[in-house]
């Protein structure tokens, strides 16, 4: 493959109608940045597998799962094909179950078609950015696939963001139209965006219409104060009603989608710098990542699984591993609008899901629920943990309450669609490991001072990733895109090591690294040691200023209910586990620790306090 030709060819493409040649050129050297090649650089649409199982540079091949082929070929396709195929194969089966109301694949598919046609009539075309400002609900699923089928690009917005944060993202992405529900807490924010000129149009769907008939009536009566009234809004002229949009029942006009070039989703992330940027995830990135995850779980049965949707769909983890994965498998999605611990346990007990992606804090919270033994969680066979490090104690504790199931840790980023690695379902289980690269994916550990150089086996280095799931680049950020890659590899900012069997172990994030007396101190190592204390429920370690060491670790700890511990107890527990340089300078107990939107522990707020 002539990469110079690849670069030249791509610069002639019209990925977005409003991208001119200058903008395309600013994306940078496409042979370096575009994920249009398989691991060895062969064009993905060539139909040839390019991975070489005999390559000694890939230690994971020594113990790769016997029923998973690392060098398998994935054929990228438009992402809406997932839904179209599911409708054909599983039309009569339930697709979504939400607060007691189920919709079949045929019903969801029909709504996707009508909605896509309505969007096209409102001007959505190839490359139009359409925002989703929604909690988990069937409306999210319908509009996600309808936008893509109409040729548009989905822009995910976090409903917890402030108007200022939302306005910044809307402006950066060029989002002019946003989809939301007629709930006050959502509509009022979107209404505010129109009022300040950050948004032109709002599509409003009915929340009561998502409920079973009786619940819908009761909601309108007893929760009327939670319902917005767009018709009386000061921006009512900008409102489009979902019922009107799909009312004609038309079919959408076909749109030519180039899976490896066209952007399906703009997924905003802090990346490795903390500054929000839109990761351009192509149709191929997202479609292939679902196939990669699917290939990792051959024991899961098409058309028979039930996937628990407790993580927010607007986050890349749930978007791929809950929503898209469930549709690819013809599974029923059991959807929660937001995570409430008691409600989640009751729903698992009643609805018997078989698959549940989650974050470590979710599994930990369930383990520590005082009445967890009341609930039957035994239907769960496969739980994928992501978003943060999974302490081995949390894994072991959760597996005791799902005796026939497994909790498996994976790893990824928004920029990798997101799944890049996963632990084998049936072992080997290595404490603290994020597992092996997904099929067709290469992980390379690079020198922290010179990322062009690989580090020897067993030494720590920055994880750099190459594979079909790696983003095209950052939206309108050519310099950030350039800095995020070294050659064909995406730089994650995570420090790791790999053992002789190809199992990777995250040591920490480069930006979280603590330099103490000139030594590298990794917060995760300290956190793992503290987690082994029986009274500890959650812990976060950050670096603080220290007059002697320059920087020193500080641990923030939340204790389990009814299990007291003192600072002296924790220090005594850590003495045989940590070196003096790793020992926390301070320990602070708190009733709760800050978390991100998907429930993983967050260091940001604690660092700001410090």
Are 311 and 347 in the same domain? yes
Are 62 and 147 in the same domain? no
Mean pLDDT of 126-152: 98
Q: Contact, 459 vs 445, CB < 8 A?
A: yes
Final residue of a structural domain among 508, 525, 552:
508
Q: In 221-358, where do the E strands start and end?
A: 239-241, 263-269, 277-282, 306-309, 332-335
The per-residue pLDDT of the chain, averaged, comes to: 88
CATH of the domain at 214: 3.40.50.980
Q: Contact, 486 vs 451, CB < 8 A?
A: yes
pLDDT above 60 for 582: yes
Tell me how far CA of residue 567 lies from CA of 345, 559, 609, in angstroms. 33, 12, 20
Asked whether residue 436 is domain-assigned, the answer is: yes
pLDDT of residue 43: 30
pLDDT above 80 for 404: yes
Are 338 and 482 in the same domain? yes
Mean pLDDT of 440-447: 97
Final residue of a structural domain among 246, 275, 293:
246
Tell me how far CA of residue 553 lies from CA of 294, 388, 583, in angstroms. 40, 19, 7
* Structural domain boundaries, residue 153: 80-246
Phi and psi at residue 395, in whole multiples of 5°? Answer: -60, -50
Are 493 and 349 in the same domain? yes
Per-residue model confidence as pLDDT tens digits over 163-213: 988 999 999 999 999 999 999 999 999 999 999 999 999 999 999 999 999
Final residue of a structural domain among 218, 246, 274:
246
Are 317 and 359 in the same domain? yes
Kindly report whether the peptide bond that precedes residue 428 is cis, defined as omega within 30 degrees of 0: yes
Are 581 and 472 in the same domain? no
Are 554 and 424 in the same domain? no
Asked whether residue 257 is domain-assigned, the answer is: no
pLDDT of residue 56: 57
pLDDT of residue 518: 62
| Count of the separate structural domains present in the chain | 3
- CA pair distance 216, 178, nearest whole angstrom: 24
Asked whether residue 253 is domain-assigned, the answer is: no
272 confidence band (pLDDT: 50, 70, 90): low
Is 64 buried (19+), middle (13-18) or exposed (0-12) by CB count in 10 A?
buried
Asked whether residue 258 is domain-assigned, the answer is: no
Mean pLDDT of 238-257: 95
pLDDT of residue 524: 85
Asked whether residue 570 is domain-assigned, the answer is: yes
Tokens read off for 40: 């060895």
pLDDT above 60 for 53: no
pLDDT above 90 for 274: no
Tell me how far CA of residue 232 lies from CA of 76, 194, 210, 238, 241, in angstroms. 46, 15, 22, 12, 13
Are 40 and 139 in the same domain? no
Instruction: Output 413 or 22, whichever has higher pLDDT.
Output: 413
Asked whether residue 324 is domain-assigned, the answer is: yes
Are 488 and 526 in the same domain? no
Are 187 and 213 in the same domain? yes
Tokens read off for 387: 């978003």
Are 410 and 537 in the same domain? no
CATH of the domain at 277: 3.40.50.12780
Are 366 and 493 in the same domain? yes
Asked whether residue 56 is domain-assigned, the answer is: yes
604 confidence band (pLDDT: 50, 70, 90): confident
Q: 432: left (phi > 0), else alpha (psi -120 to 50), else beta?
A: left
Asked whether residue 317 is domain-assigned, the answer is: yes
Please tell me the pTM assigned to this model. 0.81
Per-residue model confidence as pLDDT tens digits over 497-551: 999 999 999 887 777 878 786 666 888 889 989 999 999 999 999 999 887 777 8
CATH of the domain at 572: 3.30.300.30
């Amino acid at each position: 493959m002539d990469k110079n030709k690849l670069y030249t060819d791509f610069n002639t493409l019209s990925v977005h109608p409003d991208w001119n040649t200058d903008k395309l050129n600013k994306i940078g050297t496409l042979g370096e940045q575009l994920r249009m090649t398989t691991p060895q650089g062969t064009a993905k649409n060539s139909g040839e597998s390019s991975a070489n199982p005999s390559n000694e540079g890939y230690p994971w091949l020594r113990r790769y799962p016997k029923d998973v082929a690392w060098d398998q070929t994935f054929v990228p396709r438009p992402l809406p094909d997932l839904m179209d195929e599911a409708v054909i194969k599983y039309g009569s089966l339930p697709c979504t179950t939400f607060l007691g109301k189920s919709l079949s694949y045929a019903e969801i598919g029909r709504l996707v078609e009508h909605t896509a046609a309505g969007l096209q009539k409102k001007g959505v075309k190839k490359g139009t950015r359409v925002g989703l400002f929604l909690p988990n609900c069937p409306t999210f699923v319908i509009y996600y696939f309808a936008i893509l089928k109409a040729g548009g690009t989905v822009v995910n917005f976090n409903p917890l963001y402030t108007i200022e944060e939302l306005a910044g993202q809307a402006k950066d992405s060029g989002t002019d139209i946003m989809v939301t529900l007629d709930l006050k807490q959502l509509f009022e924010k979107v209404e505010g965006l129109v009022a300040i000129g950050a948004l032109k149009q709002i599509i409003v769907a009915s929340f009561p219409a998502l409920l079973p008939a009786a619940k819908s009536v009761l909601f309108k009566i007893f929760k009327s104060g939670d319902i917005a009234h767009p018709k009386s809004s000061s921006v009512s002229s900008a409102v489009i009603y979902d019922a009107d949009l799909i009312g004609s029942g038309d079919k959408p006009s076909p749109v030519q989608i180039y899976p490896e070039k066209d952007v399906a989703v703009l997924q905003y992330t802090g990346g490795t710098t903390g500054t929000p940027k839109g990761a351009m995830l192509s149709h191929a990135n997202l479609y292939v990542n679902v196939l990669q995850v699917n290939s990792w779980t051959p024991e899961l049965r098409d058309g028979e699984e039930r996937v628990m949707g407790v993580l927010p769909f607007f986050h890349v983890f749930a978007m791929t591993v809950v929503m898209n994965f469930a549709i690819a498998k013809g599974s029923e999605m059991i959807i929660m609008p937001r995570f409430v611990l008691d409600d989640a346990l009751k729903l698992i007990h009643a609805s018997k899901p078989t698959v549940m992606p989650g974050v470590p804090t979710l599994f930990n919270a369930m383990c520590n629920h005082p009445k967890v033994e009341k609930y039957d969680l035994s239907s769960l066979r496969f739980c994928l943990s992501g978003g943060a490090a999974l302490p081995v104690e949390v894994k072991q504790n959760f597996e005791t309450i799902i005796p026939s199931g497994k909790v498996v840790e994976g790893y990824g980023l928004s920029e990798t669609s997101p799944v890049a690695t996963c632990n084998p379902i049936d072992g080997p289980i290595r404490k603290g490991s994020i597992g092996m690269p997904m099929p067709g994916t290469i992980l390379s550990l690079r020198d922290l001072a010179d990322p062009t150089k690989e580090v020897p086996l067993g030494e720590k280095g920055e994880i750099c990733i190459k594979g079909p799931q790696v983003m095209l680049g950052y939206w309108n950020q050519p310099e950030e895109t350039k800095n995020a890659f070294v050659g064909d590899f995406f730089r994650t900012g995570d420090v790791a090591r790999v053992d002789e069997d190809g199992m990777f172990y995250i040591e920490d994030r480069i930006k979280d690294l603590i330099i103490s007396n000139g030594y590298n101190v990794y917060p995760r190592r300290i956190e793992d040691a503290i987690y082994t204390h029986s009274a500890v429920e959650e812990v976060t370690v950050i670096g603080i200023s220290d007059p002697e060491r320059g920087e020193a670790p500080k641990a923030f700890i939340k204790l389990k209910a009814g299990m007291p511990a003192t600072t002296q107890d924790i220090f005594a527990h850590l003495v045989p586990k940590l070196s003096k340089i790793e020992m926390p300078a301070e320990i602070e107990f708190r009733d709760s620790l800050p978390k991100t939107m998907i429930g993983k522990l967050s260091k940001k707020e604690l660092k700001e306090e410090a």
